[in-house]
Amino acid sequence: MSSKIFRLKIAATLITVICLIIVLLSPSPIAQSTTSRIDQNSVPLIIKDFSGIPQHVINSAGESATVFFGNDQQKNDEYVAHLLAIYLAAHNKDIVIINNSGGWGWSPLENFPNSQEFVAGIDNKLNSLGYDTLWLDHYRTTKTINGCVSELMFAADLYPTKVEDLIIRVEFLINHIPNLRVILSGESNGSTICGEAMQVLKDNPQVYCIQLGPPFWNDNTKLDRMLVLRSNGSIPDAFSQGDIMTIIRTNFETLLGISQEYPGHVLFYIGAPGHDYRWQYEGVSSPVLAFLDYNFNHQKQ
């Protein structure tokens, strides 16, 4: 057993080294993340006209941009235009839900199975409690080689910039929109960035988090204002529970043409029974609704 663990460590080290070499030989993987409304066909939020926006908000956006891009004026301007567009979209809302997809981090929520039911279920609950919501898709990477490398580096905890970027967006909103609340929603690998952001934002009572099927190496279940689901109530999530043997067996059976009783996959193609969090599952909808009821079922401040 010890020899197997040693070989796994060697393999992990080699993968990390290869990733580092690719990053060093390639253009910088630090790419500007984007955000879009879930009802606007994945079009990134960005504006050119800043009229009507308080000057101190514009100045704050500029200060945030320099955190990532220093003196690169073009990237600074793009980041400012993006932050201010998010601000305008959210400034008259009570709750903003920021979705972080699984996989490589570039997929919209609409690619999530039965996403309309998921959104409707949460919206119906929050609307019934008197809250007006805004749903955003947060794309933490791009469909490029650098995007894939940066996501691998992020998964290996060697690329914290993505977490810092998400934190800046959240803090920018809650600092400039009084009484706004933000829910970070993450599925699979998208839960990683939500959990790490919550580690920093854990003392901010305006920020909440819902994680669906986080990777088995993540353990943020003891944080306040966070819901973590590692099962849909029908079957334990093989990926989230770290049941590697079940994942191997499932994919081997699939190659042999043996149909699987329980759906679920990682990175679109790797079978992982139970890694499936559709709203129709009682083990998904019930705890999510209970979480919302516990945290939001009181008169708005």
Task: Provide the pLDDT confidence category of residue 232 given band limits of 50, 70 and 90.
Answer: confident
Q: Are residues 264 and 147 in the same domain?
A: no
Q: Are residues 243 and 205 in the same domain?
A: no
Residue 175 structural domain: 29-115+132-232
User: Within a domain: residue 17?
Assistant: no
CA angle (247 as vertex; 191, 264 as ends), nearest 5:
55
| Mean pLDDT (whole number) for 215-229 | 81
Task: Provide the pLDDT confidence category of residue 27 given band limits of 50, 70 and 90.
Answer: very low
What the block records as the tokens of 20 is 């580092």
CA dihedral defined by 83, 85, 87, 91, rounded to 10 degrees? 180
pLDDT tens figures, 52-66: 899 999 999 999 888
Q: Are residues 42 and 72 in the same domain?
A: yes
| Mean pLDDT (whole number) for 116-136 | 93
pLDDT at residue number 129: 93
Q: Is the pLDDT of residue 155 over 60?
A: no
pLDDT at residue number 248: 74
More confident residue, 131 or 242: 131
- Domain harbouring 101, CATH code: 3.40.50
- Say how far residue 19 (Cα) sits from the centre of its chain: 22
Residues 6+ apart with CB under 8 A from 1: none
Location of structure tokens 């992982």: 272
Residues 6+ apart with CB under 8 A from 203: none
User: Within a domain: residue 292?
Assistant: no
| Mean pLDDT (whole number) for 95-112 | 78
| Mean pLDDT (whole number) for 135-154 | 68
d(CA 291, CA 109): 21
| Mean pLDDT (whole number) for 258-284 | 72
d(CA 193, CA 167): 10
Q: Are residues 141 and 206 in the same domain?
A: yes
Q: Are residues 224 and 246 in the same domain?
A: no
**Dihedral sign computed on CA atoms, order 205, 206, 209, 210:** positive
Q: Are residues 204 and 79 in the same domain?
A: yes
| Terminal C-alpha separation, the chain | 57
Structural domain count, the chain: 2
* Winning range, highest mean pLDDT, from 88-92, 108-112, 246-250: 88-92
More confident residue, 70 or 154: 70
Judge whether 229 and 186 are in contact, CB under 8 Å.
no
Q: Give the β-pairing of 226-229 and 207-212.
A: parallel
Q: Are residues 160 and 227 in the same domain?
A: yes
| Mean pLDDT (whole number) for 169-180 | 94
| Chosen domain end from 232, 261, 290 | 232
Q: Is the pLDDT of residue 265 over 80?
A: no
Record the pTM: 0.80
pLDDT at residue number 24: 46
Task: Provide the pLDDT confidence category of residue 158 given band limits of 50, 70 and 90.
Answer: very low
d(CA 170, CA 295): 18
Residue 289: its H or E element: helix 282-296
Q: Are residues 227 and 248 in the same domain?
A: no
Q: Are residues 160 and 57 in the same domain?
A: yes
User: Within a domain: residue 59?
Assistant: yes
d(CA 236, CA 270): 16
Q: Are residues 145 and 253 in the same domain?
A: no
User: Within a domain: residue 248?
Assistant: yes
By the 10 Å C-beta count (0-12 exposed, 13-18 middle, 19+ buried), 223 is classed as middle
d(CA 134, CA 226): 19
What the block records as the tokens of 34 is 């984007």
3-state helix, strand, coil in the chain (%, to 5): 50, 15, 40
